[in-house]
Every structure is written in structure tokens, then in C-alpha cells.
Structure 1
Amino acid sequence: MTPTSAGNQTQFLEFVQKYALQLRSPETLPQSRRAWDEQRPQLRARLIASWGGFPQTPGPLKPRVVGQFQRDGYGVEKVLLETRPGVQMTANVYIPDGNGPHPAMLCVHGHWPLAKHEPTVQKRCIGLVRLGFVVLMVDAFGAGERGIQPELGEYHGEMVAGTLWPTGLALAGIQVYENMRAVDYLTSRTDVDAARIGVTGCSGGGNQTMYVGAIDERLKCVVPVCSVGTYQAYLGAACCMCEVTPSVLTYTEESGVLGLVAPRALMLINATQDAFQFSVGEARKTFAQLQHIFCFYGRQEAVRHVSIEAGHGYNRAMREAMYGWVTRHLKGQGDGAPIEEGEMAIEAPETLRCFADGKRPTTFVTVPRYAAAEARRLLQARPIPNHRQHWQSDRSLMVSALPKSLGMRKNRLESIAISERRQAGDWNSFEVISELGISLRVSRLSKGSKVDRLKLLLDFDRSVPPEEAEADEWHIVQADLRGTGALANSNDGIGRAVDHNSAEWSLWIGRPLLGQWVQDVRRILDAVEQEDGQLPEEIMVVGRSVAGIVALCAAALDPRITHCQMIGSLTSYISDTPYEKQRLGIMVPGILRDVGDIPHIASLVSPRPLSITGGVDGAGAVRTFQQLREDFAYAIAAFALDGAQNSLQIATGADS
């Protein structure tokens, strides 16, 4: 049997945390207004790029009031807005009695099951409208009335939002853009004073507030609640996909993002009993840097940090602090001190719904549907090649783009540290450093002194029994890659995503897990080469299920790999439903945009042998032989153009 390792469930987190500290150490602040003014547009552009960009030309909003009702002192309209072509946002507009134009507040919700209908969310809307503000309360993409099903209560994170990553779009960025469209709508209303608009939200809504407040300068007052801390503090925590900005730690911290709000009014509200990433202590680090930036404008009084003795949530004391701040900065009244809320009656969720009784059109665009449509649009730029010049041009572009998309490191360790050799029967093993902070245990099955054919087996679920490996004719090598098997981070999963947290942490630092796993494969081969003096002429990498994508990418980028086999792996990133039985770590931001789909990556193995044994779609359904051939049509054409059509073998399999 294979030698076992005690495992290290903290290794990967410790690696990510140290790596992130190196990225941001020291965290330098601009030393002058001029230096900051030079940084601002660059920082803004990098944030938007991390989110996948915004449409160049906003389409018509097509606002439609689908219902309304009156209460004492204010009325409520139920409104549909088209934020992108075909994508509808559900919203409520609270309108104070009396003549306008009024100041306005955009309210965004966090991860409460009922979204805009949640009682605590309603309370801030009612409190604000009573103070004379028009309030626009919106459902975030994938939440509230905008879930996959029309019923309330869905969560838009994990593998729902995961469908967006391959397109290059981040749910965080979509929310920013949609909230900017919400501001467009507010400025279009005759009862709103466009020069006096603010935004507030809590938790995930606080993140939305931070980002849209940083990007949209029409928002004159920004109040994020129970959300501001530091990006470093996210590493070790579980957060929603809608909070992740890929690669952001490679160029800034939260203080840089919130610094873009200056010189406009900004209040940070934190709870003393909140999670570490939103803690008062972490927020104080950010606030200290913000004070430095606001001083450039002589606007020290326009930024304030308030801590409330409470747990996570937008409670009454927090709302009252917000009321005073926005009243001062948007109405020019008071000194910013808290304003008492008073008692109020909230509405039943059904009263506020835009789609009565959940009767939503069957064609309603959900997060996965939007992701799938965007993916298909992107792949129109990668048609099946019909002549060799076309294929060679595509190949050159993809070979250049793939390592960048995967966040592969260019530098290699000069020496390969091998230690802790062990023996267990016919198996021997050793530890190898993949990169500083990452140690892998590599197991080898001895089959005589000469190694002429080597097979590396990758299986995150460990479904290959040792006896099957021992019966193989090849010299077998196995290993747990970082963050998997014995090296898996404890409590890593959320919902369908078993590697949720480690995959997210990797995105924060600009190192998608798939790229890190490919690096581990390379280092394992380096270690075997060092141990044996040379590598055999034939090297096969076999990946089962999710690990098949790792094997494929490794073979595409490493010419030492002479054979590749995928068993029961995902055949396409395109999925109009949430991914099932996959890992978030293979969902690389922008891979469809910059490289192509899984069959495009498969084509890069040509003319070397590639075996595709079974496969599944995004929903986990097994593909038939005909479907597999349709899925891999691009690769089939590429292999044929290389004169290597017999090197690509496609078959169904019981393991798929």
C-alpha cells in the first residue's frame, strides 16, 4: 500500500497568508495629493479590469412600474429595470410625500435570505423615506426575486456565481455595474435631486457600497456597514463569491479602494462582535490610511469611523448613525449625530414583490443563464479551425495566454529540496517543496530498477485503489496536490464547492488554484528527474474527474508529458445551471475569454496522445459518445490538421 502522510490542513492557508503579506509589504501610501491623483485613475481601471470590465455603452433601462401602494407619509413603487440587455433587476422605490426634488439613497442588501424584503432591510428604507429621502432598494443579481427559482431565499454564491468566473466576469463587478445603473435610474427621476445621492448597505451589501461608492462619483455619501476591514483578513475566512475581486491583493488594499471615495463623505460602521475580517481592529487599520488620503483634500471631517457594541447586522443604532451622517451631507442639516428612528411597521414580503405570487417569466435571466450566454458569445471568437494556418495562429495565441490565465509563476526554484524518504512495501515516498511554503508527499510504486514509462495519477477523491495502480504496466507516481487530500484545508467547503475557501483565497492573490496545481505537477516531475537522474521517454499524466482538467493543462504546457488521459472530467465550462460535482479551483477567471474552453486546451496537447474517457457537463450529467465528439469538435479538428487524428481517443467509460 502507498505510504501515508499525517497531512497538514493548515499548510495552504499559511502559504496564502504569507504570500499575500509579501505582495502588500510594505503597504505604501501616496505622500502627496499629486501622487494620489496620479494613482486614482490607475487603481480605478485595475479594479474594473479585475471584475471583467463594464459594457462600453449602457443600454436603455426600460423602467417599468409593476405595482404601487401608499403608506402614511410615503408611497412605494415596485419597479423593473433592465441593467444589461435582457437582464432585469427587481426593485422597490420609497417616495416621500411632498414636492421634490428630494435627496436619494441607494440601498443594497447583504446575505439575508429575503433580500430587499428582509425586515431589517425594510427598516432602513422606511427610516430614510421618513427623513425625506427617495430610497431605491434593489435585489442583487441572483438574490431575492432574481434567484434561479422564483421563490425567495436562494444564495447566489458558491457554484452559482462560480459559473461566471470562466467568462472573466466577477459577481462583485456585475453588482457594481448594476448599482451604477440604479444610480442612472435615480438621476432620471424628476423627484430626485441628482446632486444629492448616497449609498448604504451591510455585510455583502457593505461590500457593494464600498465598491460602487469608489467607482461612481455621483454618490456623494457612502456608508458601508459591517463590511470594512482588510483584504488580508479575508484570507482564513469564508466569504461570498460576490465579495471577491480577483488579484486585488497584487495591487491594493481596502484602504486604496475606499480612498477613491475621497473627498466625498464616507462613514464606516463596524460591530464590536463581528467576524475578524470585518472587525473593528481591522477597520481601524484601513481608517488610519483613509484619514491620510482625506487630508490631501482638507476633508478630514468627511470621513468617520463608528463602532457599535453589537454583532453582525444593520441594527437600530447603526441605522441611526447612518441617518445623521446622510442628513448632514445630503440635506445640509445637523452635525452628523445619530437621528432617532422611531417605531415602524414593516411589510409582508409578498407586498413588495415585483412578481406577484412568484409568477416570474420562465425566460428570466439568472446568474448561470447569463454566464452561459456570455460564454457562448466569447467562444464565437474561437471557431473550429478549417485549415492549418488558422489552427497554428490559434495555437500560438492559446499557448501564450494559458500560463498567464492560470497565474503561473515564471521563476523556478533553483534546487529541488527532497526529504523524509519512506518505504511501505513496494511503495516508496518522499517530500518535495513545490514552492516556498508548499510541501508535497510523492509516492512511487517500484517495478524494477529501470523506469522507462512513468504514469502520474491525479485523483482528488482518491478513487483509485492501490491494487489497481499496482496492476498497471507503467511505473506509478501519486501525490496529493496542494489543498487536496491530506493537504486539504479544514472546513473548506460551502454548498456545492468543496474547495470554496481555498479557491477564493487563491483568487484574492491572483493565483487560481488550477495554475497552482499545474505547478505542483511540474515540480513532481522535476523531483522524479532529480531522484532518477533523468525522466523516462514516456510520461503519462492521468486525471480523474476534476483532476482531469489539471492533467490536461499540465500536458498542454509541459512538453515532457508525452501522454494525457482525462477520465470522467468536465467537458465544457459553459453551464446554464450551477456546477455540480466540480471544484471551484478549476474555474479560472477569464479563461474562456483569454484562452478558450476545455476542448481548446485539449487541442494544445496535439500531436501527443490524448485519451478522453467519458465526461460530464456542468450539471454533472454523463455525456454520451456522440455528445463527447460534439464537445471536443475543436480538438478533433486540431489533431486532424496536425496529422495526428489517431492520437486523440474519445470513449465513454464507467468512471465518467
Structure 2
Amino acid sequence: SPTYQSHPRWFAEHGYVALVLDPIQLGESQGLHHGTHREGRWDWQSRGYTPAGTEVWNAMRALDYLESRPDVDAERMGVTGLSGGGVISWCLGAADERVKVVVPVCQSGSIEQVVTDRSADGHCDCAFWVNYYRWCWSDIGSLIAPRAFLIASGTEDVLWRPVGYRDVAHRVRLQYAALDAADRFDLVEDLSQHGYTPRLRRAIFTWFNTHLKNDPTPVTDDVTDYVEPEANLLVFGGKLPDQDAMRQVDRLLVKRSERQLPADLPNWNSDQAAALHQLGTTTFRHTLTDSLPTLREFRHDGSDAGGVAGSYTFNGRDGIPLWIRTKRPAAAASPLPLLVAAARIDARSSFNGGSASRPGVAGEIATAVVEVRNTGTTSVGPGYLWSLRRTYPLLGETLPERQVSDLLGGIAILRAEPMHQTIAVYGQEETAPVAIYAALLDPAIGEIVLANPPTSHEDPTTPEFLGVLRVGDLPQNLALAFPRPVTFVGNLPDAYRWTRQVYQTLGAEDRFRVIPSIRDWRPFEKSRTTTASRK
């Protein structure tokens, strides 16, 4: 692009060695940059993958190459870039201390501003990191300090508003002042849109000269209009190397868990504890907070041939108002076993005990359907759902992870009722992962019941959970519930034979069941007692 040629050409004309990297999906760098933005690749979130990671990795390898050149002083290297190149400037500067000068252009602001303005809608996936720890840009800046750092921004940039980048700049400035390096940070602005201007360029060039050449003389010249022929800029001559793997980098960059079948119980206990800890400190770091769900109201909803119906309203851990719809056999004595499910996203109604989302059990079993967010009265339409799914990860969450939190909140409300005995969770199709992870986070849930669950988080249609594949895929993570009973309704998907093998290896094969219909389900302990009495 002529726009991007002019800046490295200025540097080369003024005594620098300039290297321009093709970002993913442009030039000779293949692959996808817009996974969740327009390709439906929600599995990226489960993989813990962002193209920003690949770009930083490529840039670090570029530094390796530059270090190897005799005409490069490895002690005086810097990075700058516009827009997507700006975020890589931030992240490369934070990740690699070989970079002595960092200048992001029109790519600075606060997570709060991006979330509240919905400006994430305008960004491709490279613009953000996988934010397990709820970092903001000022946290990235703290890893750059005290090296020379200049933020360049336009006040009319629709993506990065002044209220965001000025706040971040103020926070970073305080960090530099605390390190007695106030002269090594600054913010330059222009009354301009998203892009370079002569004022911004001259400030950038002066900053590099000051901190890499020890020459603070203000730069007065600007870029020229000369355009280098495209053929002169090709590295591979228009034909990519046979071993090029950029089209598969989203599957290669982040290492997946390779959990093996257990050799014995002590070995499994160790692996299980480590995996549950990793899930709790990354994927579900913000699921169980100190704030407890709060019961607002219980309402008796009458009865019919199917039993007695009731409704609870409660506030979830983050204050979202939610509903629980219950149904219990009319003549059964308390306490009863309780089977709890998350409402289905496509359920038209949860009237009278949960309607179509209610598991169709038989016998003396109570049921409850929790209207987790994006179901029932909190359903999100097409005008916001895409934005919501892309925004939650900026807060260290995902929409399905929030549904896990909601389900656990509903279970906490129900557990306080003396009419309920053991509590099991039920998940069908897309609600199955929600049930699985709710049980892993709540050891008091007695059993997991699944019907037609998805088999892998690698499938973009499977509910997404941040970085969960770094711990394990669905069959491996379900096995973390051991020794609690697991029941499959209908057929056992082939992928979950691994889970059953874990139970067999550890001597608990009877705790892994497959039943023909949900009407055949009875709580494991009760079922075993009934079987023993028949014998």
C-alpha cells in the first residue's frame, strides 16, 4: 500500500533500517484476521487465540532477524504502526524488551470506552488480547515503562475516543513519573480522523530521533509521494513457501491440552486438581465472585396434572435479574431430588415449570429451569448478540460463561429450600457445556445428566469459553467430575468414550450410565438402591 510505504521510506532515508511486516490476511501473509468479526470463528475464544498473538510472535521473529544483520544496532530498535499496527506496537513493546522505542498510532484507549461505546464492532480480532485478567491499556503500558513511549492519536477517530486514550495516557504518565522517567512518555494529538497526519508523523519521527539517535531536533520534513513498485517489495516472489502454515496458525499457535488417560487414582487426582485450578484461574476466573445471588421473590404458579409450578426471581452475581421455573409432583413428600437445567436459547416460552426446556422426567423428581441470560426475559436479539459475544471476552468472560454463572446462582437459590434433596444438572445440546462446567465449579452438584451434547470446543458452533481448550476439550473436562455420576440420555457420542474409559480405569464404571430416555432417569444413589433391593 502506498500509504504504508511512505513511513518506512522516511526512516530509511534518514539513517534507519526499516522492516515492514505484512499483517495476517494481507500481502504475502495468509490466514484469517476477522475470525469472530465476520467468519463465525467462535472457537477462537475457546482456543485462547487472537491474531494479535500471531502478529506479536511474527514481530519477535522479525527482531531476531534484525539482530542478525551487521547493519543493525540491536540496542537501538523501535516499533511503530497505525491501527492494527498500533496494537501490535503496544503488545510487542510489552512482550519484548529489545524494543527501546514504542509509538502506537490511532490504537489507544480504554477497555471501558470500547465496551460502553460498542466500538469493538468496528475492530477486527487483532485489536485485543485474550483478557483473562481484565487488563486495560495502561496495564500494557506498565510493561513498556520506563522505555521511550509515545501515544499518537486523532481526536476525531471514531474507534478510539479522546475520553479513552487521554485517561490511559494519564495513567501511563503517572507510572513513568513514579519511575522517575517522565520525559520518556508523551501523548501527541491532532484534530484528525483515524490515520496519519503531518503533525503526528513529525512528532513520531522526532521521538525516534530523540530516543534512538540522541537528536531532539524537531523534524520539519515529511514523507514523499514516491511509490515503490510492488514487485520490488515481494519477499517470496508471489509464491508462498511450501511449508507456510499461516492458514493454520489459529490451530497451531496456542498449545492444546494433551491430557492422557490416568495410570492410577493418585495420578488422576493430581491431574484433576491441576486442571480444575487452571479452569478456575483462567476460563472461570470471574464466574464465582464474592457477590452472592439474591432472592427477590417466590411465586406459587398453581398446579395441573403435571404437578405444582412455581417461579423464583433473583439477581445474579453481577446483578442481572433472572427467573427460575420449577415443577414438582403434587403428592410427593419432601425433600425430593431436583434436576436443574438452563433454559434453551430457542425456547419460545418457559411457562408452567419451564415449558420445552424442562427435562421430561417421570416419578418423584422435581425440576427447575433457570432462565440464564440470553433466554427468557433476557433474550438478546440480532441487534446486539454479535456485539455481546465479542465484547464479553474484553471483560474476561464469554456469554456461555455468564450462563454458567447464572445457572450456579439459580442452584444456590434452590439449594436453600428444604424441599430439595440431592441436586443434579441436566444439559441438552447447546446447554450441555453449561451444565458440565457448572458442576465442575460446584462440587455439591451430585450428578451430571447430558443429552446429545456437542463433542468439541474446536467446533465454532459449540458454546465458547475463554481458553478452555488449553485445559481440555469437552470429554476430558467432563471427566474432571469424577467420581460423581455421569448419565447420558440416548446414544453415547464416540468422543465421550474417553470419559467412560476414565471411569472404567479408576474402578467407577457403574457411575457412568447410558439410559434410553430422560423418563428413565433416577438419581444415581437412588437408582443403585432400587437395583439392590430388586436383587
Task: Supply the AA of the counterpart residue of 1:565.
Answer: V
Q: Relative to structure 1, is the Cα distance of residues 146 and 484 closer, same or farther in structure 2, using a 3 angstrom cutoff?
A: farther
State the match for 2:80 in structure 1. 200
After superposition, where does 1:485-524 map in structure 2 within 5 Å?
A: 486-487=377-378, 491-494=383-386, 499-507=388-396, 511=397, 515-524=401-410
**Matched residue type, 2:496:** F
CA RMSD in angstroms, aligned pairs only: 3.8
- 1:116-515 aligned at under 5 Å gives the runs 118-140=1-23, 144-148=27-31, 155-156=34-35, 163=43, 166=46, 171-236=51-116, 237=118, 238=120, 239-247=123-131, 253-275=136-158, 278-295=160-177, 299-315=181-197, 317-333=199-215, 335-337=217-219, 339-345=221-227, 347-348=229-230, 352-357=233-238, 359=240, 361=242, 364-365=245-246, 366-371=248-253, 374-375=255-256, 378-379=257-258, 382-405=259-282, 406-407=284-285, 416-419=294-297, 421=299, 423=301, 428-445=310-327, 447-448=329-330, 450=332, 452-463=336-347, 466=355, 469=358, 472-473=361-362, 475-482=366-373, 486-487=377-378, 491-494=383-386, 499-507=388-396, 511=397, 515=401
Give yes or no for contact 1:506–1:513 (8 Å, CA) kept in 2: no
Match of 1:541 among 408, 425, 438: 425
Cα deviation, 1:616-653, whole Å, max 9, x if unaligned, reads xxxxxxxxx7xx43x23431122213444244346999
8 Å CA contact retained: 1:266, 1:304: yes
Alpha-carbon shift at residue 571 of structure 1 (Å): 1.9
CA drift at 1:209: 0.7
Number of the residue aligned with 1:83: none
Q: What secondary structure does 1:274 align onto? A: coil
Give the Cα separation in 1 of the matches to 2:42 and 2:99.
Answer: 30
1:580 is aligned to 460
Within 5 Å, which residues of 2 pair with 1:15-54?
none
Rounded Cα–Cα distance in structure 2 between residues aligned with 1:166 and 1:480: 23
> d(CA) in 2 for partners of 1:391 and 1:128?
57
1:569 partner SS:
coil
Contact 1:172 1:242 in 2 (8 A): yes
* CA displacement at 1:606 relative to structure 2: 3.7
For the 8 Å contact 1:459–1:543, the answer to whether it is kept is no
**Is the partner of 1:194 in helix, strand or coil?**
coil
TM-aligned CA deviation for residue 551 of structure 1? 0.6
User: 1:600 aligned to 476, 492, 495, which one?
Assistant: 476
Q: 1:459, CA displacement in angstroms? A: 4.5
SS in 2 for 1:201: strand
Change (3 A) 1:646 1:492: farther
> Offset of 1:608 from its aligned partner?
4.1
* Identical counterparts, % of pairs: 24
Partners of 2:516 and 2:252 in 1: CA distance: 30
Q: CA offset at residue 603 of structure 1? A: 1.4
**Residue 549 of structure 1: how far off its partner (Å):** 0.9
> Counterparts in 2 of 1:50-89, with a 5 A limit?
none
Structure 2: stretches of 5+ with no match in the other structure: 350-354, 518-535
Shift of 1:453: 4.2
Letter in 2 for 1:430: Y
Deviation at residue 144 of structure 1 after TM alignment: 4.9
CA distance in 2, matches of 1:254, 1:300: 18
Aligned residues: 496
Aligned-partner residue type, residue 321 of structure 1: A
Q: Give the C-alpha shift of residue 273 in structure 1.
A: 1.5
Q: Identify which of 483, 489, 498 aligns with 1:634.
A: 498
Equivalent pair of 2:10/2:223 in contact (CA under 8 Å): yes
**Counterpart position of 2:529:** none
Task: Report whether the alignment pairs 1:648 with 2:507.
Answer: no
| Shift in CA distance, 161/424, structure 1 to aligned 2, threshold 3 Å | same
Deviation at 1:188, TM superposition (A): 1.4
Q: Work out the CA distance in 1 between the residues paired with 2:287 and 2:67.
A: 46
Q: Distance in 1 between matches of 2:359 and 2:141?
A: 57
